[in-house]
Amino acid sequence: MSREWPLWEIFIRSQHGLAHKHVGSLHAPDAEMAIKNARDVYTRRNEGVSIWAVKSSDIVASSPGEKEPMFEPASSKVYRHPTFFPMPDEVKHI
Amino acid sequence: MNDAKSLFEYLLRLADSDLILAQRLGEWVGHGPVLEEDIATTNVGLDLLGQSRLWFAYAGEVEARCNGTGRSEDELAFLRDAGEFRNLMLAEQPNGNYADTMARQFYFDAWHELLLRGLTASTDARIAEIAAKALKEVRYHIERSADWVIRLGDGTEESHRRMQAAVDGLWMYTGEMFEVDAIELALIDAGIACDARTLAAPWRERVRAIFADATLAVPTGTWMQGSGGRGGKQGVHTEHIGPMLAQMQWLQRAYPGAQW
C-alpha cells in the first residue's frame, strides 16, 4: 500500500452559483478528511456554501492525444450552431 | 477587587489562553506533517488569534473604566511579561509531536466549547456576543481535534503509543480548567462569568467517549498542576512560556509601536 494519501479533486459551489466548480486538488486519507481539508484550504474566505470531493482516480478523462477526433468537428456543418434564429434585442443573457 | 477590575482579569484569562495557544499553533507554519494539515492547524490558530483580539479590545475598554486609560490590543499582547499572563498552563505547553499538539488541542477545545456555550448566556451582552461568534469556530475546532485523537489513537501501533503518551503527559494540566477563584466567584454570582466547575462533568464525558473510540485509556491521575489558585490564571506558569514570549514579543520590544 502506498504511504501517500490519495489525491482528491475539490468542487465548490459558490454563494451565488448553482453549479459546483473545480477549484483544485488536495491529499487526504479518506472522504471525511478530504471535506475538512477542502474547507480549510479552499473556503476560508467565504468562497462557498457546498463542497464536493471526488477521488482523482475515479475521474475518467478524455485523452489529450485525441484532441482532433474529439474536439475538431468539420466546421462546414454550420447547422450545428444555433445561429440562425433572430433574437429580439430585449432578450438578454443568452 | 472592584467589579471592573475583576472583569478585566477575567477577560485577560479568556484572551490569553486564546493568544498563547494561537502562538503555539503558529509555530507549525511550514512544519506541518502535510501541506493540508499545515494550513488547517494554522487556520485554527488564526481563529483563536481573532478571538483573543475581541477579548483584548473589550479588556482594554474595561481597563479604561478602572484607570482612565486602557491598553491597546497590541500593548496587552506584546508588552506584558510572563507573570502578567493569565492563560491556562495547558495552552503554553510545547507542540511536541503531532499527537502532543492534537492532544493539547482536544483537551482545550472540549473545554473551550463548553465554556463559550456557557458564556453565550452571560448577563454581560458584550461577552455573550463574542462567545456566540467564537463558538461557531470552536465547534469546528473540536470536530477536527477529536477526529485526530481517534485517528492516531486507533491508528497504527506507533501512533497509538504516541497518542496515549500525549494524553497522559498533558493530563495534569487539565485540572486548572475547572477551578474558580475569588475573582471568578464574584463574576459568577453576577451572572457574568461561566462557572467552570460545572464544565468538569460534561468535559470528562466527552473525553471518555472520544477516547473509547480512539482505543485510548483515560488517564487516572488526580494530582493537577496549578490547582489551589496557583495556576496560569493567577499568573503562575511553567518554564515554557518565557522562551515563547521572547519569540512572540521581540519585534514590539525591539521596535516599539512598529506596524506593517
User: What is the rounded average pLDDT of the residues A24-41?
Assistant: 93
What pLDDT score does A70 carry?
74
Is A81 contained in some domain? no
Mutate which of B25, B28, B35, B36 to test chain A, going by most A C-beta atoms within 10 A?
B36
Identify the three-state secondary structure at position B29: coil
- Alpha carbons within 13 angstroms on the beta-carbon side of residue B35 total 10
Of the partner residues A32, A41, A44, the one whose CB lies closest to the CB of residue B36: A41
Dihedral sign, CA of B191, B192, B197, B202? positive
Residue A1 has pLDDT above 60, yes or no: no
Confidence of residue B1 (pLDDT cuts 50, 70, 90): low
What pLDDT score does A2 carry?
60
What pLDDT score does B206 carry?
98
CB B153 within 8 A of CB B209: no
Dihedral sign, CA of B186, B234, B45, B150? negative
CB A32 within 8 A of CB A55: no
Q: What is the pLDDT of residues B36-88, one digit of tens each?
A: 999 999 999 999 999 999 999 999 999 999 888 999 999 999 999 999 999 99
pTM (two decimals): 0.88
Number of compact structural domains in chain A: 1
Is A26 contained in some domain? yes
Alpha-carbon distances, residue B181 vs B109, B135, B176, B227 (angstroms) = 22, 24, 11, 10
Expressed as residue numbers, the domain containing A4 is: 1-57
Residue B112 has pLDDT above 90, yes or no: yes
Q: Is A67 on the interface with B (CB under 8 A)?
A: no
| Beta carbons within 8 Å of B136's beta carbon, 6+ residues apart | none
What pLDDT score does B2 carry?
75
- In chain B, the domains with their CATH numbers are 3-254 (1.20.1260.10)
What distance in Å separates the CA atoms of residue B239 and residue B247, rounded to the nearest whole number? 14
Question: How many angstroms separate the CA of residue B134 from the nearest CA in chain A?
Answer: 15
The complex's ipTM works out to 0.71
CATH (domain of A28): 3.10.20.520
A17-26, B160-169, B172-181: least confidently modelled range: A17-26
